[in-house]
Amino acid sequence: MILFLDFDGVLHPDPCYDQGKQFCFLKRLESVLLEFPDVEIVISSTWRESRSIEMLRGFFIPEIQQRIVGVTPNWRDHEELFDVIGYQRQTEIEAWIRTSGEPWLKWVAIDDKCFLFKPFLQNLVRTRPDTGFDEIAEKKLRDLLSKF
């Protein structure tokens, strides 16, 4: 199972002008992920565009750091796929899956921008930009991960 993870609006409010509040919802997510040790993480956040994977891993506890296996490519590098899918973040996820060597892998995404995905996508945990990974999102993620 792969979890595609956005940061802004998920791990902290979006916008987040107070650096002291950055990653204020991270511990809640990490506690869920510790219960599901087979879940690997791919960063789908735009933070991947300006930071190395090592820097991105550094925000997480060591038990989670080792499970971060990559970052999604930019949808603009896969315009032929975007032409078929029509949604930017979902195109990035599908492109990563296709190049993973394991295209059959099940996946879940956590994101606050549902317009970047096909409507009614069952494996999307949508957060609200102001509340991020709250109790509602936590419950939905647990429910999805428990099914796999």
Q: Please report where in the chains the tokens 């987040």 appear, as a residue.
A: 16
pLDDT value of position 45:
97
Which residue from 89, 104, 99 is spatially nearest to 148, judged by alpha carbons? 104
pLDDT value of position 142:
97
pLDDT value of position 18:
80
pLDDT value of position 12:
96
Divide the 148 residues of the chain into consecutive groups of 10 and give the mean pLDDT of each group: 97 86 96 97 97 97 98 95 96 96 92 96 96 97 93
pLDDT value of position 19:
78
Quote the CA–CA distance of 41 and 63 in Å, as a whole number: 12
- Residue pair 9/127 in contact (Cβ under 8 Å)? The answer is yes
pLDDT value of position 103:
86
Which residue from 62, 61, 59, 34 is spatially nearest to 47, judged by alpha carbons? 59
pLDDT value of position 21:
87
What domains does the chain contain, in order, with CATH numbers?
2-146 (3.40.50)
- Residue pair 31/126 in contact (Cβ under 8 Å)? The answer is no
